Structure 1
């Protein structure tokens, strides 16, 4: 193990450029999956199965997904700007 990069920050290799990503797609697909699973769990609860805890987890996943979509909407400019910076 080389100690030069640890002791001297100027000896470090440059880090990779940040990748341009679309978090809206990721958060939307994840929320849609939670919605689908929530519908399945709701059908099982109505059918008499004891899946209430799984339904609560699906609802929590949907709420978190919606909150992440709102966050992404307001912060899209920031994370896209960081990916476009030249190093």
Structure 2
């Protein structure tokens, strides 16, 4: 079997509006959590309580994601400006 070698270089990764996308997703998780709270008893009675806590966990992890992508975006902008000092 012959070894595969690429015939061309890989394209640059696509960069989009990462920070607004993560913020939007985080807001959606928290909204879903708040919408489910009035039905907490129903979820508990039917064994679906994990749905509520999954939304809260998604919102919490989204906050970590917002922090991460904001720092990443700032580092990319610093690097583009020529100041490649630390994170």
CA distance in 2, matches of 1:19, 1:80: 15
Aligned length: 76
TM-score between both structures, scaled by the size of structure 2: 0.69
Task: Indicate the SS of the match to 1:17.
Answer: coil
Give the superposition deviation at 1:75.
Answer: 1.6
Work out which structure has the larger RCO, using CA pairs closer than 8 Å and 6 or more positions apart in sequence: 1
TM-score between both structures, scaled by the size of structure 1: 0.69
Find the counterpart in structure 1 of residue 54 from structure 2: 57
1:32 paired with 2:31, answer no
CA distance in 2, matches of 1:44, 1:4: 56
Q: Which residue, out of 8, 11, 19, partners 2:14?
A: 19
Task: Indicate the SS of the match to 1:55.
Answer: helix
RMSD of aligned alpha carbons: 2.7
Whether the 8 Å CA contact 1:20–1:80 is kept in 2: the answer is no
Task: Indicate the SS of the match to 1:72.
Answer: helix
The answer for unaligned runs of 5 or more in structure 1 is 6-10
